[in-house]
Amino acid sequence: MSRIRPEHRLENPLRSTLDQRVPRVAGPCGIVLFGVTGDLSRKKVMPAIYDLANRGLLPPGFALVGFARRDWEDEDFAQLVHDSVREHSRTPFREEVWKQLSEGIRFVEGDLGDADAYARLKGVVDDLDATRGTGGNHAFYLSIPPGLFPVVLENLKASGLAEDHPDRWRRVVIEKPFGHDLESAIALNDLVDSVFPPGAVFRIDHYLGKETVQNILAVRFANTMFEPLWNAHYVDNVQITMAEDIGIAGRAGYYDGIGAARDVIQNHLLQLLALTAMEEPLTLTPGDVRIEKEKVLRAVTLPREIGKHSSRGQYAEGWQGGLPVRGYLEEDGVSPESATETYAAMRVDIDNRRWAGVPFYLRTGKRLGRRVTEVAVVFKRAPHLPFSESMIQELGNNAFVFRIQPDEGITVRFGSKVPNTTTGQVRDVNMDFQYGESFVDSSPEAYERLILDVLLGDPPLFPRREEVEIAWQILDPVLDYWADHGRPEQYASGGWGPESSYDMIARDGRMWRRP
């Protein structure tokens, strides 16, 4: 047998990457934030920036520039950041960290379409480079409604702010929705690509920043126990659920006209599906992971009769947490005629050898029974059960469940003999892994991880344009079908969705798991 001599061995790219245990600290840089008064900026982006500073992961001269049509001075914007940090940041407030961060806070007043305002922004950015040492490196964070992306992108280009340079970087961060359908997504991607080079575009899907989501690949590919069962021979179906107990929480302006499928299935749930179903990547480098994600997404098909295998609904008034709540059509800012769905469920199949015949059920909704996101791999029944019927009355299917949130961990469900029964009854039991019990450190917020990655120029957790476009390709026929077939069904707040959601899965002889 010929042996590969050590000097001829290909280096394992996984080992050759930087030691992942060393904390990664961003170099000199700043963020320019568009949409400073929005919910996302105040509840997620600003607190995450502070948390990064508090963990020592931002450079000492870091700068945060707010851009908005407000008659504000730097101090007014700093006050807004301060308040949102105090209210929403994960880590404790420390005066000295805040002081250092606030010294780099600037505000530029202007209309998103006003070229002069961008000239002023350029002046502020240049000044920060000179006085705070941001080194010309700036990320433009578009936390604004998607309809405003074009005007900002065009102005960033025209003002020279987006200009690439060998000794500095300019990046753009885009929040979803990336378009409204495939056609608009392509137009948006073309526009972004005409302003920034592909490596400088960071599309945020915050689910990919969650530790529990990143753990899907780790658990699947770091172990031997699971992967041999992870296929159509053993898996009966996969259920991916993202349920929320809140309503639209004052976000009618964003949500109405978008709905649950565009808001959550197009991005978060299809990403979870890709991570659950993809083949093992050659390495965990961004390029290799994306190849496998795209491959599996390309293999996704819809059932022929979309109406029978999908469901949508709108929450009606009801009770939640002991309090009466309004229905979607009574929410402030929602048209009483609105046909926007607040619940969406659909079956998809994956047309490859591993998953042939295994349905993947995706569902999401607002004002459901409780807040929970999970990926449940439900196994087939044992091919032979040497028990009498009465002994296995309480035995269900085995399941492997990634508990994404809020109770982060993994559950394995299997049958076990009930002790002290002479008849030997077998009943389902759970084996649980809880993050809190196994690890000391609490997980950073998804936005901390993602914003740091933007500043480091590290793209593996950001969907590429191809992934976004394939996801629309999957969803568009369902959205078209719904648009042509009446209105969403009403469902009671605090329940688990419309009748049609139970019917669609019952048609396949299955039931939704009760998370």
List of E strands, 89-149: 105-109, 138-142
Q: Give the phi and the psi of residue 176 in degrees, each rounded to 5.
A: -70, 165
Take residue 242 and report the two structure tokens written for it. 């993202």
Nearer of residues 325 and 426 to ligand BG6, judged by Cβ = 325
Which phi-psi region, left, alpha or beta, contains residue 357 (left: φ > 0; alpha: ψ -120 to 50)? left
| SS3 of residue 267 by DSSP | helix
- Provide long-range contacts, Cβ within 8 A and 24+ apart, for 437-442: 442/90
**Of 57 and 272, CB closest to ligand BG6:** 272
Q: Which residue, 137 or 373, is less far from ligand BG6 as judged by CB?
A: 373
Site string for ligand BG6, 263-292 (x = CB under 6 A): x-----------------------------
What is the closest distance, in whole angstroms, from the C-beta atom of residue 33 to ligand BG6 in the complex? 18
Spatial contact of 317 and 493, defined as CB atoms under 8 Å apart: yes
- If phi over 0 gives left and psi between -120 and 50 gives alpha, with beta otherwise, what is residue 249? left
How many residues make up the chain in this entry? 515
Which phi and psi angles does 390 have, rounded to 5°? -65, -25
Question: How near is the Cβ of 468 to ligand BG6 at its closest, in Å?
Answer: 14
CB of 244 to ligand BG6, least distance (A): 6
Query: In the complex with ligand BG6, which residue's Cβ is closer, 29 or 368?
Result: 368
Q: CB-hemisphere CA count at 13 Å for 408?
A: 16
Question: Would you please indicate which residues are annotated as catalytic (active-site) residues?
Answer: 268
Closest by CA to 472, choosing from 350, 305, 302, 343, is 302
State the minimum distance, in angstroms, from the CB of residue 332 to ligand BG6: 16
The binder of ligand BG6 chosen from 211, 244, 408, 469 (CB under 6 A): 244
Q: Cβ of residue 373: shortest distance to ligand BG6, in angstroms?
A: 6
Phi-psi bin for 403: left (phi > 0), alpha (psi -120 to 50), beta?
A: beta
Binding flags for ligand BG6, 365-404, as an x/- string (CB under 6 A): --------x-------------------------------
Site for ligand BG6 in 286-325 (CB under 6 A): none
Q: How far is the CB of 512 from ligand BG6 (least distance, A)?
A: 19
d(CA 305, CA 311): 12
Residue whose CB is less far from ligand BG6, 246 or 511 = 246
Smallest separation (angstroms) from ligand BG6 to the CB of 269? 11
Q: E strand or H helix at 95, and its extent?
A: helix 95-102
Taking the least distance from each CB to ligand BG6, the nearer of 251 and 298 is: 251
Q: What are the helix (H) ranges across 148-210? A: 149-158, 182-195
Q: Which is nearer to ligand BG6, 245 or 349 (CB)?
A: 245
Rounding to the nearest 10 degrees, give the CA dihedral for residues 508, 240, 41, 192.
-80
The size of the interface with ligand BG6 (CB under 6 A), counted in residues, is 3
Site membership for ligand BG6, residue 341 (CB under 6 A): no
Q: How far apart are CA 400 and CA 409, in angstroms?
A: 11
Given the complex with ligand BG6, which of 194 and 442 has the nearer CB atom? 442
Instruction: State how far the Cα of 28 lies from the Cα of 132, in Å rounded to an integer.
Output: 9
Burial of 195-213, coded b for 16+ CB within 10 Å and e otherwise, reads bbeeebbbbbbbbbbbbbb
Q: How far is the CB of 20 from ligand BG6 (least distance, A)?
A: 24
Indicate the residue whose CB is closest to ligand BG6.
Answer: 263
Between CA 219 and CA 225 the distance in angstroms is 9
**Residue ranges binding ligand BG6 (CB under 6 A):** 244, 263, 373
